[in-house]
Amino acid sequence: MNTKTIRYESETLPEPTADQIAQLRALEAMPDSEIDLSDIPELTDEQWSKAVRGRFYRPVKHQITARVDADVLDWLKSQGKGYQARMNAILRRAMLVSMKTQPADKKEKHRRKSI
C-alpha cells in the first residue's frame, strides 16, 4: 500500500466541507455504546495505569545564535557532554515556573503554536 503523508500548518488547514461537518456532527451525537471497537479494543485500567503523558512529544528545535557569558558557558560545558541540551532544560524549567506564576492573559501570548 502506497500512501502519501500530507502535513498542514494550523493556519493553512482547509475549511471542512459540508459533508465532513455533517459526518463530525453525526459522530458527536453517537453514544459511546454504538462505537464499533472490534478492530480497536478499549484499553484496560491496567493498561491506562502504565500510560505516560507526552512520552513521544519532542518539541521543534530552532538553531539560534545567542551570546552567553563566558563563565556561564564554561560552567555548562564543565558538567559534561550535552551542554546545549542542558541549557535548554534550564531555560525550559524557568519558562514553566514563570508560566505557573503569570496571570492567564499573559500565558496566552506565550503559548506554543499548534503543530
Which pTM was predicted?
0.46
Identify whether 86 is part of a domain.
yes
The cell for 31 is 453514544
Identify whether 101 is part of a domain.
yes
Give the confidence band of 91 by pLDDT, cuts at 50, 70, 90. Answer: very high
Q: What is the pLDDT of residue 59?
A: 86
| Least confident segment among 6-10, 16-20, 25-29, 67-71 | 6-10
Q: What is the pLDDT of residue 107?
A: 54
Q: How far is CA 51 from CA 32, 47, 63, 111, in A?
A: 22, 7, 32, 25
Degrees to nearest 5, angle at CA 91 with 78 and 60: 105
Identify whether 74 is part of a domain.
yes
Contact criterion met (CB below 8 Å) for 47 and 40: no
Identify whether 6 is part of a domain.
no
Q: What is the pLDDT of residue 87?
A: 96
Query: In what helix (H) or strand (E) does residue 72 lie, and over which residues does it extend?
Result: helix 70-78
pLDDT, averaged across the chain:
87
In terms of residue numbers, what domain contains 82? 66-106
Identify whether 36 is part of a domain.
no
The percentage of residues in the chain with a pLDDT greater than 90, rounded to a whole number, is: 55
Instruction: Give the whole-angstrom CA distance, residue 80 versus residue 74.
Output: 10
Give the confidence band of 111 by pLDDT, cuts at 50, 70, 90. Answer: low
